[in-house]
A and B are shown apart, each in its own frame.
Chain A
Amino acid sequence: MSESLIEERFLSRLTDGPLAIAPGLAHYFVADASGAECIIRVAQSAPKGFIEKVHILYVPTPGENALITALYALGAKQFEHVPTIDEAIIKLGDWLSDAKMGSQLYLAGTEGLIGKAVAKGEECGLDHTAVQCEQRGSLARRVQCVHCKTMIENVTTQPTKCPSCDLLLLVRDHYSRRLAAFQGVCINAEDPSEVVEIKEVFK
């Protein structure tokens, strides 16, 4: 089992994994295929009675079945799998709109899943200290172009080109919890003719 792949950490980013059980009345887990094993790990080491308070939302890789079965077999109070992260986030919003104070949210998987789920939790009134994240899989970043506000998914290069306004963006280590995205700022504003080499760094 691999540990979190993130080597650098910064204050604004919610990557405090590995997930650990916090006191709570209800425990909501959201994971994609890269994070499924985190849920299984937590559930297997949990005290008796814990799983009866657990709600799991899972986004499988298309065609994959074994992890769905393994997660279903945990016997959580509620288990659903949906085809995309965006659908999972809508479903999470439905669940949290009925949730009570004392709920804990656990997120495991890629940056996009974590970021969107954190933002949804905040929107539903969940304090960020009630949210734990364990980043798994690709380190691709979700970036907001600060100039035209376009959200760019799965950014792996530094710098990166904004698909909307064409500016070349420096992807900063500045993460917005509200937007669930890193900030992308024009890297050659003084001299747009300046050529900056594009390297793949967020793998």
Chain B
Amino acid sequence: MSASDNLIPVIVSKVVEVNSIIKRFEFKHINGDALPAFSGGAHIVVEMIDGATKRKNAYSLMSSPFKLGQYAISVRREDDGRGGSKFMHEKVVPGMEMKISAPVNLFALDLRAKKHLMIAGGIGITPFMAQMTQATELGLPFELHYAARSASQAAYMGSLKAQFGDAVACYCADIGDRLNLEALLSDQPLGTHVYVCGPKGMIEAVVQTATNLGWPAAHIHFEHFLSPPMGKAFSVHLAKAGIDIDVGPEQSLLEAIEASGTPVNCLCRAGACGQCETQIVACDGDITHNDHWLEDDQRASKKFIMPCVSRFSGKRLELDL
């Protein structure tokens, strides 16, 4: 059972070009019903039917958790990606029917915090937009530090300043404005929780800096944006189902398993939540582990794989599915 088993039929109600690389998509329930409730930081999985290819990508909800008439996501166009964002940018238009999953939150605010310190890099801003609306409504103290390459590429930077005022600080690299993490993380009141969403390097820098300064792990929250990496095609044997499946170069192993009709658990589809952890029955070859879930010793054992992001090359891979 996974969140993407019971998909919700929606209609694309609005498509907005935010800047040259980012578009915002709004969805309404096909019957006009209220969509399921969610909290800031939640994501949905969007199913994309692109000819014969079915993709499922996860996107953070940026709309208000208090307005369930529609959901909004923002998608950054990745021309070198698997084609999901390109499909969204080129093929998705208002009035189109699509399917989305119910929201799942792996990046929720910890409501025990005395202050919420949010750090966004680029398109990593989206979950914070829902969180800031939630924090404002609930009267929770927060601060957003938003770093981007340039103001023209930084989605919503202007409107966030206007909406949240001094709670928002912006940093644009092209004019030499950089976020000093050490200074920021050294001057936070006791009981602060830090949240970071953005490129891998930024997440690592925040986690590392905070840990070195003595922040407890329970106060550090992060969300990776990881779409399934592409690679060479490979074949996998599903032992319980007794079938062989082919994984295309732009397809994830998880998508190939789903396409075969074999049940598999999943939630985040980005190697973070651990739901799709699958046991390996036999492996003659190499696994490229792209997840953030397995421990080093589990990887070395060649007994586990996260099908949502990891790939295989070699003679034979048999999974316990």
Q: Is B truly associated with A?
A: yes
A residues touching B (Cβ–Cβ < 8 Å)? 22-25, 96-97, 99-104, 124-127, 129-130
Mask: chain B, 1-41; 1 = CB below 8 Å from A; 0 = not: 00000000000000000000000000000000000000000
Give the residue name and chain of the A residue nearest to B215 (CB): A101
Give the residue name and chain of the A residue nearest to B194 (CB): A101
Q: Could you write out 26 A-B pairs with CB less than 8 Å apart?
A: A22-B214, A23-B211, A23-B212, A23-B214, A24-B213, A24-B214, A25-B213, A97-B190, A99-B189, A99-B190, A100-B188, A101-B188, A101-B190, A101-B213, A101-B214, A101-B215, A102-B185, A102-B213, A102-B214, A124-B190, A125-B113, A125-B189, A125-B190, A125-B191, A126-B190, A129-B217
Q: Which residues of chain A come closer than 8 Å to B145, judged between CB atoms?
A: none
Question: What's the least CB distance linking B196 to chain A, in Å?
Answer: 14
**Is B192 part of the contact surface with A, judged by Cβ < 8 Å?**
yes
Q: Which residues of chain B come closer than 8 Å to A25, judged between CB atoms?
A: 186, 213-214
Q: Which residues of chain B come closer than 8 Å to A102, judged between CB atoms?
A: 185-186, 213-215
- How many residues on B have C-beta within 8 angstroms of the other chain's C-beta atoms? 21
Q: Which residues of chain A come closer than 8 Å to B216, judged between CB atoms?
A: 127, 129-130
In the complex, what distance in Å separates the CA atom of A5 from the CA atom of B211? Answer: 32
Contact A101 B219 (CB under 8 A): yes
Q: Which residues of chain B come closer than 8 Å to A22, judged between CB atoms?
A: 214
Contact A100 B189 (CB under 8 A): yes
Contact A130 B191 (CB under 8 A): no
In the complex, what distance in Å separates the CA atom of A103 from the CA atom of B213? Answer: 9
Contact B218 A100 (CB under 8 A): no
With a 10 A CB-CB cut-off, give which of A96, A97, A130 has the most chain B CB atoms.
Answer: A130
Which 9 pairs from chain A and chain B are nearest by CB?
A125-B191, A24-B214, A127-B216, A102-B214, A102-B213, A101-B188, A129-B216, A125-B190, A99-B190
Mask: chain B, 179-214; 1 = CB below 8 Å from A; 0 = not: 000000111111110100000000000000011111
A96 and B214 in contact, given A101-B185, A101-B219, A102-B185 (Cβ under 8 angstroms): no
Contact B190 A100 (CB under 8 A): yes
Q: Which residues of chain B come closer than 8 Å to A101, judged between CB atoms?
A: 185, 188-192, 194, 210, 213-215, 219
Q: Which residues of chain B come closer than 8 Å to A130, judged between CB atoms?
A: 214, 216
